[in-house]
Structure 1
Amino acid sequence: MSISTALEDHHKQLIQYFLHDGAYNQKELIDLIGALRDRYELRIKVKDEIRAFTEGLLPLINKHINQYGIEIKQVTSEEHENDVYYVCTQNFKPQFVKMDTSYTEKEAAIFEKLLELAITSDEKCVAPRDVFESILANDLKMTQKEFGETMTRFHRDKWIESGPNNTVILHARALLEMQSFITDTYRDYIYNCQICTRLLVRGLNCPNSSCDIHMHRSCAAQYFLRLSNVTNNAATRKSTYPCPVCKQEWSKDDVTSVLKVNHINDENNDSRPSTGVTHKKQRTTTTADNNDSTNNRSVRSKPRRIVNESDDDDDN
Structure 2
Amino acid sequence: MTTQDYSDTHRLFLQAVISRRFMSEKDAIDLHARVCQATKGMSSPFDQDDFTDFINTVNDSLSSLEFEIRRAQDEANGDKILALTNTNEQKIAQVATGYTPLELEYFKHLLDAIVTADDELYCISSTAAVNEASKLKNKENKSLQLTKAGAEDLISRFVQDKWLIRSKKGALSLSTRTLLELQSFLKEGYEDQIQECTLCMEIITKGQRCNVAACAARLHQHCAMKYFGNMNNPVCPSCRSPWDGKTLIGLAPNAEAPHTIRRR
Is TM > 0.5 for Structure 1 vs Structure 2?
yes
Compare relative contact order (CA 8 Å, sep 6+) and give the higher one, 1 or 2: 1
Instruction: Choose from 103, 107, 120 the match for 1:107.
Output: 103
Q: Distance in 1 between matches of 2:29 and 2:111?
A: 30
Scaled by the length of structure 2, what TM-score is found? Answer: 0.77
Shift of 1:43: 3.2
Checking the alignment, whether the CA contact within 8 Å between 1:164 and 1:288 is kept in structure 2 is no
Checking the alignment, whether the CA contact within 8 Å between 1:165 and 1:286 is kept in structure 2 is no
Instruction: Choose from 239, 243, 254 the match for 1:246.
Output: 239
Look up the equivalent residue of 1:214 and give its one-letter code.
Answer: R
Shift of 1:4: 8.3
**CA 79–68 in structure 1, closer or farther in 2 if over 3 Å, else same:** same
**CA 151–208 in structure 1, closer or farther in 2 if over 3 Å, else same:** same
**CA 285–34 in structure 1, closer or farther in 2 if over 3 Å, else same:** same
Question: What corresponds to 1:121 in structure 2?
Answer: 117
Q: Distance in 2 between matches of 1:201 and 1:4?
A: 35
Matching of residue 74 in structure 1 with residue 71 in structure 2: yes
Shift of 1:76: 1.0
Q: Distance in 2 between matches of 1:115 and 1:40?
A: 43
Question: What corresponds to 1:9 in structure 2?
Answer: 8
**CA 26–288 in structure 1, closer or farther in 2 if over 3 Å, else same:** farther
Q: Distance in 1 between matches of 2:206 and 2:12?
A: 35
Structure 2: stretches of 5+ with no match in the other structure: 137-142, 257-264
Residue-pair matches, total: 247
Checking the alignment, whether the CA contact within 8 Å between 1:125 and 1:163 is kept in structure 2 is no
Shift of 1:121: 0.6
Please state whether the residue corresponding to 1:126 is helix, strand or coil: strand
What is the correspondence of 1:1-316 to structure 2 with a 5 Å cutoff? 5-26=4-25, 28-29=27-28, 32-33=31-32, 36-37=35-36, 39-40=38-39, 43-44=42-43, 48=46, 51=48, 54-81=51-78, 83-122=79-118, 123-138=121-136, 139-144=143-148, 146-163=150-167, 165-225=169-229, 227-228=230-231, 238=232, 240-251=233-244, 254=246, 278-279=248-249, 284-287=251-254
**CA 29–128 in structure 1, closer or farther in 2 if over 3 Å, else same:** farther
Checking the alignment, whether the CA contact within 8 Å between 1:75 and 1:173 is kept in structure 2 is no
Checking the alignment, whether the CA contact within 8 Å between 1:21 and 1:157 is kept in structure 2 is no
Structure 1: stretches of 5+ with no match in the other structure: 229-237, 255-276, 290-316
Identity %: 23
**CA 39–104 in structure 1, closer or farther in 2 if over 3 Å, else same:** farther
Checking the alignment, whether the CA contact within 8 Å between 2:91 and 2:185 is kept in structure 1 is yes
Please state whether the residue corresponding to 2:214 is helix, strand or coil: coil
**CA 42–205 in structure 1, closer or farther in 2 if over 3 Å, else same:** farther
Shift of 1:57: 2.5
Please state whether the residue corresponding to 1:74 is helix, strand or coil: strand
Shift of 1:36: 3.5
Checking the alignment, whether the CA contact within 8 Å between 1:77 and 1:218 is kept in structure 2 is no
Q: Distance in 1 between matches of 2:93 and 2:80?
A: 23
**CA 34–105 in structure 1, closer or farther in 2 if over 3 Å, else same:** farther
**CA 131–69 in structure 1, closer or farther in 2 if over 3 Å, else same:** same
**CA 54–171 in structure 1, closer or farther in 2 if over 3 Å, else same:** farther
**CA 54–157 in structure 1, closer or farther in 2 if over 3 Å, else same:** farther
Checking the alignment, whether the CA contact within 8 Å between 2:133 and 2:151 is kept in structure 1 is no
Checking the alignment, whether the CA contact within 8 Å between 1:166 and 1:287 is kept in structure 2 is no
Checking the alignment, whether the CA contact within 8 Å between 1:165 and 1:287 is kept in structure 2 is yes
Checking the alignment, whether the CA contact within 8 Å between 2:122 and 2:251 is kept in structure 1 is no
Q: Distance in 1 between matches of 2:50 and 2:181?
A: 21
Alignment deviations for residues 192-248 of structure 1 (CA, whole Å, 9 cap, x no partner): 2211122223332111223221122222122112x34xxxxxxxxx2x001112111
